[in-house]
Amino acid sequence: MTILSIATVSLAGTLTEKLEAIALAGFRGVEIFEADLLSFPGSPADVARIAADLNLDIITFQPFRDFEGMPEPKRARVFDRAERKFDLMQELGCDLLLVCSNVSPESLGGIDRAAADFTELGQRAAARGIRIGYEALAWGRHVNDYRDAWEIVRRADHPNVGIILDTFHILARGTDLAAISAIPRDRIPLVQVADAPLLDMDLLSWSRHWRCMPGQGDLPLDAFMAALDATGYDGLLSLEIFNDRFRAGSARGIAVDGNRSLINLMDRLARARGKPIQGIPAMPARAECLGVAFIEFAIGEDAVDSFETMLKALGFTKAGRHRSKDVGLWRQGDIHIVLNWDKEGFAHAHYITHGSSVCAIALKVADAKATMERALGLHDQTFAQVVRPGELDIPAVRGVGGSLIYFVDETSGLGRWWEVDFEPVPGAGEGAGLATVDHISQSMLYEEMLSWVLFYTSLFDAGKGPVLDVLDPGGVVQSQVVENRTGTLRLVLNASQSHRTLSARFLTDFFGSGVQHIALSTGDIHATIAKLEANGISLLPIPENYYDDLEARTDLEPAAIDRLKAGNVLYDRDAGGEFFHAYTETLEGGLFFEIVERKGYSGYGAVNAAIRLAAQTRLAPTVTMPRH
């Protein structure tokens, strides 16, 4: 049966905090890193007790370094050191020692020499009821390939000596996976799992700082899992993630992410092979997002007038009044905006914490119940509040910054949410040509970004784009897209390590992560902008220099450039077509809208982001409006 585990090195905190977070996140096993034990103010037996109380198995003690191929007299000393660690492991109640391949310049190569060392270590370990797992580090001095490690283990020919496969070391070097299926599964005591973004850097730094949870990076983990599955392996799967951000994050949050990432990985494998995996509960497939049903703003009573005025100016019409609460529904094209200033319930709590802001996003899915089931299976945080008679109970999970993501579908009646909850308000305005929500951009803490990438891509049938660096006058902002193939789910996640970027200042002003901008689509950006301007909406002014450069680097006619300039419209193009976009000036609270027109284009205008950020910074250099 598959047992999920994690190495203590993956998390922040003291050893006790780590163990508690690991147990709470649903892991059954833990790998104790030596450094965590050395800094623990108690005996190994104390650690064993804490783990037992938490119902955690200490599956491995690691790493044991620079063992094989040492010349005498070092060789004798290495065996003495191993015996000391066996003592410690017995106290710890752990029977598997991870030996990683030797990196010492003093070590001698030679497969038979290494094999002989492992035979002897196996004999000594067996006398203590201990097993040895040999792992090839990608930067090992003589052994850096799992195929060589396996040959050594095979020749050592001792039942207590096996091979530990670590996805990072194998995939980072692009090692061929075919040889995995030739390893008997009972010779693999442990498989360590880690992902990583593709980076052009030395293997050691890449491994020690940039590993991440499966699904957060770019390594071909599905191919590895398929090769491993061919051996029939169904034992321990342990996350071993060296990552600077995770070490600075919350142990509990990162541990939950880890568990979620493994469940998601195994769910992918189960689907690929068409057979469930023992020990991993089956769950519905990733949900297809069919679009944004509505965006809900929690606002103060005193802000209702100004918000409604702004929505009107953007071309929205009041379409409904909530039957029992201070909530209004506004509509334009297929865009629905809910304004909530009720004094009770979730929205109010959100307003108290964050000020006027987006408190919920409702997404259309094929089956809301199945989506919720998957969310539960992934340990996503579900949400429920008191539902008054006559109101719909819309299933929801917690999203970025404590906001909600609602799921509505067409099959369960949830799709008619507005008819149930709202009294229609007659009359329709002419609108400004805005048709759909194109994308939603969320700003968050740098440490959170990978968590939300995993959250979205494990729950929804969506992928992630590359991490882009965007220059803000106050620093660098990292930007990553989460989107599905049809473009019905498009999110842009932003975070920065500087405190002076617009994205970071949004977090400070807003008391947390959240929606910073909403992009609305139009079929004719020039007509839409003319309407908005006539309605008194100020668009973000774009400097002349931008248009001079655009003229120099594109084949756009001068008249077309003049038109863009007049409307403060930015331009981009890709293989699919053209993109036009403009921004409203920033509203109270740091939120703004983007107006976009896509003509076959599938990106987000990232080349223009620095221009936009500089323009916004010029308009709002340091002070922001009070929020309450």
Ligand X SMILES: O=C(O)c1ccc(O)c(O)c1
Does position 68 bind ligand X by CB under 6 A?
Answer: no
E strands within 115-160? 131-135
Does position 296 bind Mg ion by CB under 5 A?
Answer: no
Please check if 166 is assigned to a binding site: yes
**Interface with Mg ion in residues 233-262 (CB under 5 A):** 240
Bridge partner residues of 322 (DSSP): 422
Total residues interacting with Mg ion, rule: CB under 5 A: 3
Terminal CA-CA length for the chain:
54
Residue 188 or 314 having the CB closest to Mg ion: 188
Bridge partner residues of 339 (DSSP): 297, 328
The 8-class DSSP code of residue 285 comes to P
Q: Which of Mg ion, ligand X, none interacts with 356 (beta carbon under 5 to 8 A by kind)?
A: none
Residue 10 or 192 having the CB closest to Mg ion: 192
Residue 62 or 484 having the CB closest to ligand X: 62
Bridge partner residues of 298 (DSSP): 340, 357
147 CB neighbour count, 10 Å cutoff: 18
Least separation in angstroms between residue 309's CB and ligand X is 58
Residue 44 or 133 having the CB closest to ligand X: 133
**Interface residue with ligand X, options 20, 36, 117, 240 (CB under 6 A):** 240
Q: Which of Mg ion, ligand X, none interacts with 25 (beta carbon under 5 to 8 A by kind)?
A: none
The token duo for 521 is 């689509």
Angle at 215 between CA 30 and CA 594, to 5 degrees: 135
The 8-class DSSP code of residue 195 comes to B
The token duo for 446 is 């740098």
Does position 63 bind ligand X by CB under 6 A?
Answer: yes
The 8-class DSSP code of residue 101 comes to P
Least separation in angstroms between residue 208's CB and Mg ion is 11
Q: Which of Mg ion, ligand X, none interacts with 257 (beta carbon under 5 to 8 A by kind)?
A: none
**What x/- string results for residues 19 through 58 when contact with ligand X is judged by CB under 6 A?**
----------------------------------------
Query: What amino acid occupies position 329?
Result: L
For residue 63, say if its preceding peptide bond is cis, omega within 30 degrees of 0. yes
Q: Which of Mg ion, ligand X, none interacts with 437 (beta carbon under 5 to 8 A by kind)?
A: none
- Distance CA(63)–CA(31), nearest Å, equals 10
Least separation in angstroms between residue 164's CB and ligand X is 7
Please report, to the nearest 10 degrees, the dihedral formed by the alpha carbons of residues 348, 350, 356, 357 taken in order.
Answer: -130
Q: Which of ligand X, Mg ion, none interacts with 207 (beta carbon under 5 to 8 A by kind)?
A: ligand X
Q: Which of ligand X, Mg ion, none interacts with 208 (beta carbon under 5 to 8 A by kind)?
A: ligand X
Residue 100 or 327 having the CB closest to ligand X: 100
The token duo for 360 is 């919920």
Does position 485 bind ligand X by CB under 6 A?
Answer: no
Least separation in angstroms between residue 263's CB and ligand X is 22
113 CB neighbour count, 10 Å cutoff: 17
Please check if 267 is assigned to a binding site: no
Least separation in angstroms between residue 242's CB and Mg ion is 9
Please check if 517 is assigned to a binding site: yes
**What x/- string results for residues 171 through 210 when contact with Mg ion is judged by CB under 5 A?**
---------------------x------------------
Please check if 135 is assigned to a binding site: yes
Does position 166 bind Mg ion by CB under 5 A?
Answer: yes
Total residues interacting with ligand X, rule: CB under 6 A: 11
Burial 437-459 (b: 16+ CB within 10 A, else e): bbbbbbbbbbbbbbbbbbbbbbb
Least separation in angstroms between residue 185's CB and ligand X is 20
- Distance CA(209)–CA(198), nearest Å, equals 13
- Distance CA(410)–CA(407), nearest Å, equals 10
**What x/- string results for residues 174 through 193 when contact with ligand X is judged by CB under 6 A?**
------------------x-
Q: Which of 169, 177, 189 shows the shortest CA–CA distance to 227?
A: 177
The token duo for 624 is 């922001």
Does position 166 bind ligand X by CB under 6 A?
Answer: yes
Does position 205 bind ligand X by CB under 6 A?
Answer: no
**Interface residue with ligand X, options 49, 77, 208, 599 (CB under 6 A):** 208
Task: Please identify the residue of the shown chain whose CB is closest to the bound Mg ion.
Answer: 166
Please check if 288 is assigned to a binding site: no
- Distance CA(41)–CA(58), nearest Å, equals 18
Give the residue carrying structure tokens 């807003």: 510
**Interface with ligand X in residues 274-303 (CB under 6 A):** none
Q: Which residues does 315 contact at the CB level (< 8 Å), separation at least 6?
A: 332, 429, 430, 431, 432, 433, 434, 528, 531, 532, 535
**Interface residue with ligand X, options 20, 66, 117, 135 (CB under 6 A):** 135
The token duo for 404 is 């909600």
Q: Which of 66, 157, 162, 65 shows the shortest CA–CA distance to 115?
A: 157
Does position 98 bind ligand X by CB under 6 A?
Answer: yes
Q: Which of Mg ion, ligand X, none interacts with 394 (beta carbon under 5 to 8 A by kind)?
A: none
Q: Report the half-sphere exposure of 21 (CA within 13 A, side-chain side).
A: 24
Q: Which residues does 489 contact at the CB level (< 8 Å), separation at least 6?
A: 289, 291, 363, 460, 462, 482, 483
The annotation places the binding site for a divalent metal cation at 135, 166, 192, 240
The residues that touch ligand X, with contacts defined as CB under 6 A, are 62-63, 98, 100, 135, 137, 166, 192, 207-208, 240
The annotation places the binding site for Mg(2+) at 439, 517, 594
The residues that touch Mg ion, with contacts defined as CB under 5 A, are 166, 192, 240
